[in-house]
Amino acid sequence: MAILEAKSLQKIYTTRFGGAKVQALSDVSFSVEQGEYVAIMGESGSGKTTLLNILAALDRPTRGEVILDGRRLSSVSDREISAFRRDNLGFVFQDFNLLDTFSVQDNIFLPMVLKGSQFREMKRKLAPVAAKLGITDILEKYPYEVSGGQKQRTAVARALITGPKLILADEPTGALDSRSTDGLLKVFNEINRDGQTILMVTHSVKAASHAGRVMFIKDGRVFHQIYRGNSTVDQMYQKISDSLTLIMTGGEDDD
C-alpha cells in the first residue's frame, strides 16, 4: 500500500517583482510504499529541497497533488496543517534544529507536549526510543553540551517519538563526521527494519547506498531510479556512483 503519493507536482517561483519565473519542479510523480526507505538524490538546484518542502506541507505546489496515507494535503486547512504535520510527519534536518533552551529530553518531548500528551505517556514512550538511539545517558544535558552525532540522534528521537507515518530527512548526514554518519545510517537501517517509512534527501552517495530505493532528480523531474533488490551496500554504492556519472555526462540522450 502506498503511504505517500506525489502526482505530477509542479512548482514555479515568481520573483518578487513579478518578472522572471523559475521552475523548480516541472513534473514529479512517484509513490512510497509503507515501510520503504527511499533516498532522493540530485545536484544543487535540482529541486530536491522544494520537493521536500512540498512533501512536508511547508510549501504548496503550483500544480499537482500530494497524498499522505490516503489524505490529500491540499484538503488540510492552514489551521490544521501544523497539527497534521506533527501527527503524521517526523523531521530530521541537516543542522539538527534543536532548541538551546531545552534539555535533550525536553527537545524530544517537544512534539508530544505540543500534541497535549500526558507526562507519564511521554516518559513511557521516551525510554525505548532513547535506548535504541543510545542517548539515555545524555537526556539531562543541553544541546550545546553534546556532540554533533548525539545532537542528530536526539533529533531522530524527536522525530520518532510521535510514531509518525513518515520520516522526512533533509541531508541528515550533512553536518556529521564519518563516524557519526555511520552511526546515524545504522540507526536509520534499524528503525526502517522495525517498519518505519523513511524518505531522505541527500547529496551523499554513502547515505543513499543504505536506502532500499534511490531516486535521482534533475531539472525538476524524476530522472532515474535504482532499486536495491538483493544488492549489498557496497554494490548499491557502485550502482549509485555509476548512475550519477551517467547523469552528469549528459544522460539527456537516454530520455
Q: Which residues bind other proteins (CB under 8 A)?
A: 58, 79, 81-83, 85-86, 91, 93, 97-102, 106, 109-111, 113-114, 116, 119, 122, 142-144, 158
Cβ neighbours of residue 112 under 8 Å, at least 6 residues apart? Answer: 121, 122, 125, 161, 162
Q: How far is the CB of 224 from other proteins (least distance, A)?
A: 30
Q: How far is the CB of 144 from other proteins (least distance, A)?
A: 3
Q: How far is the CB of 220 from other proteins (least distance, A)?
A: 24
Q: Which is nearer to other proteins, 105 or 243 (CB)?
A: 105
Q: Which is nearer to other proteins, 119 or 227 (CB)?
A: 119
Q: Which is nearer to other proteins, 30 or 96 (CB)?
A: 96
Cβ neighbours of residue 66 under 8 Å, at least 6 residues apart? Answer: 4, 5, 6, 7, 9, 54, 55, 57, 72, 73, 74
Q: Which is nearer to other proteins, 7 or 60 (CB)?
A: 60
Q: Which is nearer to other proteins, 85 or 210 (CB)?
A: 85
Q: Which is nearer to other proteins, 79 or 230 (CB)?
A: 79
Q: How far is the CB of 137 from other proteins (least distance, A)?
A: 18
Q: How far is the CB of 122 from other proteins (least distance, A)?
A: 7
Q: How far is the CB of 213 from other proteins (least distance, A)?
A: 25
Cβ neighbours of residue 213 under 8 Å, at least 6 residues apart? Answer: 36, 37, 38, 39, 225, 226, 227, 228
Q: How far is the CB of 76 from other proteins (least distance, A)?
A: 12
Q: Which is nearer to other proteins, 96 or 223 (CB)?
A: 96
Residue 55, CB half-sphere, CA atoms under 13 Å: how many?
32
The whole-angstrom separation of Cα 153 and Cα 150 is 5
